[in-house]
Amino acid sequence: MKIKEVVLGALLPTLWACGSSTDGFVEEPHRAERDAALPMVADAATEGGAEEDARVDSEAEAGDAEPATGDAGRNQECIESAYADTCEGPGAGFATCVVEHEFGDGQDFGQERFPEAIFGPPEGGGPLGSLDVVSLGNGGFVVVGFEGNAVVDGPGPDFIVSENPFLVGGDPLNPFSELATVSVSEDGVDWVEWECTAVSDVDTRAPYGDCAGWRVVNTNSQNGVDPTDALLAGGDAFDLADVGLSVARFVRITDRVDTTGQYGVFDLDAVTILNGACP
């Protein structure tokens, strides 16, 4: 989960946090050096400061809550429906069930609202991020399915994973990122994954390659941006063709183990189907 103890000048008078640090979280030996290197945002708009203060307070209050167990019966029905051979109607366009999960240590924001908080469309806030997320914890993971639907390989990217990053200084090549590895499976047994290299090479591709958790999410239920528009919605888009799979019934998101304090803990907002077996 984000420590985000980054001073943003006139933009935010306090911590920009998707949860402040908790006891037991990985120590950040180079935090001071990292924070000193981040650019100030003296000319940024002050709009949203109150919202961010509320975001920090809300996450702090949620820190000690017990995670919910969810509806096992509903999840089982959803899992079984993922194997349906025919489409009886439009399938789910967003994650609707959790097949398996294991939370890691450290940040636990939103876990009391799990799994409902990761179902449905994303609630991204653009540069302010979103509170509608669940922290996976350091090294944690979740496997989601889609009731009556599956991701299929079609034109362009096939699904989007949404987190809640923001851009330091408004620079698209300098996101405050919390990274995860994304993998997919047709049967829930054999998995293929995109390599999360976290190596910056701005001359040839975006900073973190095929990691999830670094592209700002632009769509939410209030702003009218279509969450299935790969060009406008934001978030991290993935193409099944890149891993040689034609159908994915399940998506697994695994927080990148953070031993440096640099990348934080992944906060899942939503998983959106762009090309579905039952659109």
Domain range for 108 is: 68-273
In a domain, 58, yes or no: no
Residue 274 pLDDT: 98
**Structure tokens that stand for 253 in this block:** 């998101």
Burial (CB count within 10 angstroms: exposed 0-12, middle 13-18, buried 19+), residue 130: buried
**What per-residue string of b and e applies to 144-158 under the rule 16 or more CB within 10 Å gives b?**
bbbbbbbbbbbeebb
Residue 232 has pLDDT above 80, yes or no: yes
Report whether 274 contacts 159 (CB < 8 A): yes
Is 52 part of any domain?
no
Q: How many structural domains is the chain composed of?
A: 1
**φ/ψ (deg, to 5) at 167:** -100, 125
Pairing of strands 267-268, 134-135: antiparallel
pLDDT higher than threshold 60 for residue 54: no
Alpha helices in the chain (DSSP H): 31-37, 49-62, 72-81
Q: Classify residue 11: in a domain, yes or no.
A: no
Is it the case that residue 260 has pLDDT exceeding 90? no
**Dist CA 279 CA 275 (whole Å):** 7
Q: Which of 85-99, 166-180, 224-238 has the highest mean predicted lDDT (pLDDT)?
A: 224-238
| 199 assigned to some structural domain | yes
Does residue 29 belong to any structural domain of this protein?
A: no
Sheet holding 180-185, edge to edge: 97-102, 141-145, 250-255, 180-185, 192-193
**Does position 117 have pLDDT exceeding 80, yes or no?**
yes
Q: What is the mean pLDDT of residues 20-26?
A: 29
What global pTM score does this model have? Answer: 0.74
Is the confidence at residue 251, as pLDDT, over 90? yes
pLDDT per position as a tens digit, 127-179: 777 889 999 999 999 999 999 999 999 999 999 999 998 887 777 777 788 89
Task: For residue range 177-205, list pLDDT tens digits in order.
Answer: 889 999 999 999 999 999 987 754 443 44
Whether residue 240 contacts residue 152, with contact meaning beta carbons closer than 8 Å, is answered with yes
Task: Indicate the residue type of 213.
Answer: G
Residue 72 pLDDT:
67
Percent of the chain with pLDDT over 90: 47
- For residues 165 and 126, give the distance between their C-alpha atoms in angstroms, rounded to a whole number: 8
Single out the residue of 59, 62, 139 nearest to residue 103, CA to CA.
Answer: 139
- Per-residue tokens: 188: 């829930």
In a domain, 16, yes or no: no
Residue 60 lies in a domain: no
**Looking at per-residue confidence, does 70 or 254 come out higher?**
254
Q: How confident is the model at residue 263 (pLDDT cuts 50, 70, 90)?
A: low
Q: Give the pLDDT mean for 232-243.
A: 97
Run of H or E including 251:
strand 250-255
Token couple for 201: 């090479």
CA distance linking residue 232 with residue 218, whole number of Å: 7
Residue 249 is assigned to a structural domain of this protein: yes
